[in-house]
Amino acid sequence: MVWGTRADASRSRSPTDTRKEDDVHELVATPLGERRLVLRQGSAKALQLPKARFEELRTSVPHTVPQWLADAVRAQWKLDLTGRRVDDVVLVREAGPYEFSRATWEINLGCDYDCVMCYLGEKRFQGLDMDGKRKLLTIMRDAGVIWLQMTGGEPLIDPDFPESYRLAYELGMQLEVLSNGSRLHKDHILNLLRTYPPTKLTLSMYGATAETYDTVTRNRGAFTRFSRGLRMAIDAVLNLDLSLIIVQANAQEIDLMRAWVRSLDLPFREYANNSPTIHGGAETLPSLSPEYLTNRAPFTACPAGVTSFHADPFGRASICKVGREPNIDLIAEGVEGLTQLGAIAESLMLRTRGCNGCTLSGMCRVCRPMAKVFQKAKAPLENYCQHKTR
C-alpha cells in the first residue's frame, strides 16, 4: 500500500516569497477586545502590539514600514519588510461593534460523499449566489470576524468557493477550511490554497484502505482521490490537520489510520461521538462504534452566540452548527442582527423536558443544544447521557 511520505515536511517557504498577488496584504493588524494584534495569513503565530504602536500604524499608512515592526516581523516570520510601504504590506482593520471574532460558514451543504454518519442528513446543494456570498463576507468583516472556518457539505466542490475564499482572504480573515480532500488534486484548488494559504486545512479521514474508505463514504474512488490530494497538499506545504472519523465500518482500521498519519508526521485527532442529524434524525446513530465513544469534559460554558457565531448557506446566523434555531437573516438585517444572538444563546442553554430535575446536571458532558438534538431523535441515553437515567 502506498500512502506517500512527508519528505518535504521540513521544507519552509522562502522568507521573501510573498505568494500573494494584487492588493492582498502580507499582514493584518486588528483589534481584538483590548488587545492589538498583527497576524500573517496562513500562520498561526501573532504579534501583540501596544495600543500606541497600533495607532502609529493606522496613521502611517502612506509611509515606510517602521523599523520596530520590520524587526518584529523578521523575528517572527523571517519576512523582510525593509523599505516597503505600510499600505502595501499591512491591512489595518477596524474593531467590530460587538465581541464577535470567530465564525463558521457553511458555504453550501452539498457534498460529493454520502457518508453513513453525516450529521447534515439530506445534503441539498443550495444557498446564496455569489452576490449574496460577497455581502455575507463583508458583513462578517464589519462584525469584527478575524477567524473564519469555511465548511460544508464539502466546500471545495462549490463553484463559488475560489472567489469566496479569496475575498475572505482579501478582507483580512484568518481562514480554516474543513474538507474531505476529494478535490485537492485539482490544479485550480491546490494553486489557490498554495497562493493564499489557510491558517489550517483540516481533512477528514475515513479509512486506511480503498475498500473501507469507499464503503464509509459510499463513493467509489474516494480513497484514491483523497490519497492523491493529501500527497499534493503535503508537497505544497499547507498547514494540515487530520480528523480520523471512527464508525463501525472502519473501526477495524483505526490502528492503520493512526500509523498512516504518524508516518506523515501530521497532527491529528479522533472523532467517534457522532450525533443525530441537524434535523433530529436518528439515521446516523447505527453507525456509532460504541467501544470508541469517549467522555467529553463536563460542559460549563460556551462562547457560542457571544464571541462566535455560525452562518448557514443562506446567510442565516445561529449561535453554532448545532443550535441552529432561532436564527438571524444577516443578509436582511446586517451586522446589527447579531445583537440578538446573546439572548438566543441564553435561551438555548436552558434545560428542557428530558433533563428537568436531573441532580447531576453540573457534571453533564453534553451542551444543551446537542442534548436537544439527541432527545428529538429519541436516541438511547448511552449515546449522550453518561448517567443513563432521566
Establish if 227 belongs to a structural domain: yes
**Residue 374 counted as domain residue:** no
70 plus 50 within the same structural domain = yes
Statement to judge: residues 273 and 164 lie in one domain: yes
Q: Which residues contact 52 (CB under 8 A, 6 or more apart)?
A: none
Q: What is the CA angle 227-233-237, rounded to 5? A: 145
In terms of residue numbers, what domain contains 174? Answer: 102-363
Rounded to an integer, what distance in angstroms lies between the CA atom of residue 164 and that of residue 249?
35
pLDDT in tens, 58-94: 888 778 999 999 999 999 999 999 999 999 999 999 9
Q: How far apart are CA 338 and CA 316, in angstroms?
A: 10
On whether residue 299 sits in a domain, the answer given is yes
275 torsion bin: left (phi>0), alpha (psi -120 to 50), beta (else): beta
Q: What is the mean pLDDT of residues 155-170?
A: 97
DSSP 93-128: PPPPSSS--EEEEES----S---TT-TT-S------
| Same domain for 162 and 301 | yes
Mean pLDDT, the chain, rounded, equals 86
pLDDT band at 104 (very low <50, low <70, confident <90, very high): very high
Please report, as a single letter, which amino acid is at residue 160.
D
pLDDT digits (tens, 9 = 90+) for 335-361: 999 999 999 998 887 765 556 666 666
Looking at the structure, do residues 69 and 203 belong to the same domain, yes or no? no
**Do 62 and 110 reside in the same domain of the chain?**
no
Lowest mean pLDDT among 106-120, 216-230, 353-367: 353-367
71/112 same-domain check: no
Same-domain check for residues 167 and 251: yes
Q: What is the Cα–Cα distance from 287 to 115, expressed in whole angstroms?
A: 10
Joined together, the cell numbers standing for residue 153 give: 457539505
Q: 161 pLDDT exceeds 90?
A: yes
Residue type for position 144: G
Examine the domain organization and report whether 211 and 153 are in the same domain: yes
Query: CA–CA separation, 67 vs 27, rounded Å?
Result: 15
Ranges assigned E (strand) in the chain: 27-32, 35-40, 46-49, 90-92, 102-106, 147-151, 174-179, 200-205, 240-245, 268-271, 308-311, 316-318, 328-329
Domain for residue 10, yes or no? no
Position 297 scores a pLDDT of: 67
Tell me the CATH number at 316. Answer: 3.20.20.70
Mean pLDDT comparison of 10-19, 119-128, 168-177, 342-351, highest-scoring range? 168-177
Q: Is-contact 262 221, C-beta < 8 A?
A: no
2 class by beta-carbon count within 10 Å (0-12 exposed, 13-18 middle, 19+ buried):
exposed
